[in-house]
Structures are given as C-alpha cells and as structure tokens.
Amino acid sequence: MGGDQVEEAVAGCVAALRPAVDRDWKEVKAAGLEWTCHDTAVHVADDLVAYAANLAARAQTGYVPFALTLDDGTDNTGLLHVVEATGALLAAAVRTAAPGVRGFHPYPFGSADRVGFAAMGVAEVLLHTHDMTRALGLAYEPPAELAESVLTWLFPHVQPGPAPWPTLLWATGRGELPGRAPVTRWRWRNNLVVPAERVTLTGIRPAAADDLRLGGTGGFDWIDGGPYEGTREACSHLMKAYEAGAHRPEFGVFALVRPEDGRAVGGIGFHGAPDEEGRVEIGYDLAVGARGNGYATEALRTLTAWALAREDVDQVSLTIEHDNAPSQGVATRAGFTRATVEEERVAQNEHDLDAGLLLYVRRS
C-alpha cells in the first residue's frame, strides 16, 4: 500500500466518472449520502490533499488549517482534474515520507503513518466513487487487490469475506454479505503505536503480519538476525485470529522500532484479548544482536502499563521456561512477580499451562 495504489485508485475513479461529466452533478445526490455527487467529489479531493498535508507536515494535534476551494465556474471536467492533482500530491507525500513518520488522524488512536494515509486515501476514493457512480448509473468495480489492501491495512477487525470488494462495501454499510448482519456504524482503524523510551511499539497490521509469517520483513527494516522466530510465530497466530474474525488490533503484535535509526529490533504482543476475568498474556522476543540492551524490559514495562490502564484488564501474565534466566530477569525488572504455587497449579489445571513453564504476573 503506497503511492502507486493511490494513483491507481484515482485513475479508476476518473475513468469511471468521465462518461458523466456532461451531467449536473449538483442535482444528483450520491447513493447513501446527504451530499450531491459534486459535493462528494469535492470531499474526495479535500481528503486527499488534507492527508497529504498532515503527513508532509507531521501534524500532531489536528488537521493542517486550510481548506480546498474550487474556482468559480469549475465544471465537472475541472473537478476531476482536481481529484487527479490532489491524488498525485498524496502519492508524492507517501513516497517521500520516512517509514516511522506519523501525522494526525483522529481514528482511532490519533495518528497514521504513510501506509495508513495511503490506505485512507484509497478507501475514500473507492467508496465514494461507488457512491457517485451508483447514483449516476455508471458501472464501477475497483481491482480486487485494492479492496483487499484497504481491508488488511484499515479493517483488521473485519473478518475477510468471500471476495474483497463486496466485503469492503458490507464493512462500510454499503452492501450485504451472506451470513452477516448489516453494518450501520463503522470506523476504520489505523494501527496503535505506543512510544517507550528508546523503542516505539508499532502495531503490526494483518497485511504486514501475513508477510512476516511467510518469511518477509512486514515492511520493517530489521537489524541483523531479525525478525526472530517468536515474532513470525506470533504473526501466524494474529493471521489465524484475523481470518476467523476474532482479531482485536489493540491486543495484537507490535514491532519494536528504534526511532533513532528506524530499525526494528524485536517483537512483543498479546496472546489474545482479555478473558472474562480481565487476564491477558504477553510474549516477546528480540533479535540476537539487540539483546542485553534493556529493550525487552522497556517494551514489556510500557505495554503492561498500557494494558493495566484499561478497564478491561486486571492482570497481565508471562510464561517463561525454567532455564530462561534472561527472560526471568526481564520480567522481574518490568515489575512482574513469580506466581504462587497455587496460582501455577490453577493455571495448569484450568488454563492448560505447561508444567515446564513458570508463571509471572503483574496486577493493576
């Protein structure tokens, strides 16, 4: 997901709408919206340039304070030219932004990276082109790869359907999907990023997790020896949850990225969402070359504090091998204590804790 996909989406939009440039778009209401087709096209262009500005300016607390205004007398051909131009601006901003750069966007965690802004731009174009072409009686269906990319980057909470485009329409309240209830309220979700002292915990989206589990980099620049096998295995579990519709992105897997050089040194994540008693388990690993620097302790302390600050989490646990003294040291330095013999017995009998593992806990 990047500048090429933004340009592809915009080209498809313009090609689909061009046959109707002689229509009065101000008199035709876009399907499912209160806006006219003219208003909707302006909205698309406004979002594209706003995303480009927020990413380029690294906006932190709000949108860059400007608005798109058309010249008086701009016709539909000119409006499509504006859509093309603003799409090109977003594509350029995405291509030139460094991987770790983030800009303001409110949903749901207050920021997005270059991939997020590209995906949001593509989503705006695909969905609103659908709204306009449907109202104008024009045929339109984007490439399946674009729709699938939007789903895997922005809708990690949505179970994949039989085909990407109908699934995206259903997920945004624009269509039906057999066996699923209609969607009346929806939001896309950029990835969660939790800053620590020397590393940033960067949420891994399903698209990146899929690449990692298959032996790729997930789009991260790893130090030598990374990612370690535990991160790939965690991404495999993430994808199984995503494919089953059980993935909760905030309780997923995070890459540990050093802001100083943008390189990933390890991974950390939850083994799933909190259970009914508010318990979650965390696992972590580091590339061999990153060990002994305190990164794991820092990341574990940060993610645990984030989790325990939530109302749905009362306890965070770790399971560690008996002979893994370094990991036991990480747990202790991060504020965890060894569970009691009774707690370990209950965990073994009721929660399938392997008898060869030690249980560490930290409570709110």
Checking if the pLDDT of 289 tops 90, the result is no
Contacts of 5 (CB under 8 A, 6+ apart): 118, 122, 146, 149
Output the pLDDT for position 359: 87
Q: What's 204-363's CATH class?
A: alpha beta
Q: How far apart are CA 102 and CA 55, in angstroms?
A: 6
Is pLDDT of 281 > 90? yes
User: Is pLDDT of 341 > 70?
Assistant: yes
pLDDT digits (tens, 9 = 90+) for 126-164: 999 999 999 999 999 999 999 999 999 999 999 999 999
Mean pLDDT computed over 191-209: 94
Q: What is the mean pLDDT of residues 27-38?
A: 96
The whole-angstrom separation of Cα 110 and Cα 191 is 10
Does the structure show a pLDDT above 70 at 189?
A: yes
pTM equals 0.91
CA distance 66 to 52: 12
Looking at residue 109, its pLDDT comes to: 87
- Residue 111 is predicted with a pLDDT of 93
Tell me the three state secondary structure of residue 223.
coil
What percent of the chain is modeled with pLDDT above 90? Answer: 81
Is residue 228 predicted with pLDDT exceeding 90? no
Residue of 216, 217, 326, 196 lying closest to 259 (CA atoms):
196
- So what's the pLDDT on residue 353? 67
In angstroms, the CA 24 to CA 20 distance is 9
Mean residue pLDDT across the chain: 93
Assign domain 3-171 to its CATH architecture: Up-down Bundle (1.20)
Comma-separated ranges of CATH 1.20.120.450 domains in the chain = 3-171
Give every CB contact of residue 100 below 8 A, 6+ residues apart in sequence. Answer: 113, 200, 202, 257, 259, 262
Among residues 97, 108, 4, 15, which one has the least CA distance to residue 53? Answer: 97
Give me the pLDDT at residue 343, please. Answer: 79
Q: What is the 3-state composition of the chain as percent helix, strand, coil, each rounded to the nearest 5? A: 45, 15, 40
Q: List, in order, residues 6 or more apart from 239 with CB less than 8 Å away.
A: 206, 209, 210, 213
| pLDDT per position as a tens digit, 45-80 | 999 999 999 999 999 999 999 999 999 999 999 999
Overall residue count recorded for the chain in this entry: 364
Cis check for the bond before 227: say yes or no (omega within 30 of 0). Answer: yes
User: What is the spatial distance between Cα 3 and Cα 95, in angstroms, rounded to a whole number?
Assistant: 6
Q: Is the pLDDT of residue 346 over 80?
A: no
Q: What is the pLDDT of residue 163?
A: 96
pLDDT in tens, 300-334: 999 999 999 999 999 999 888 888 888 889 999 99
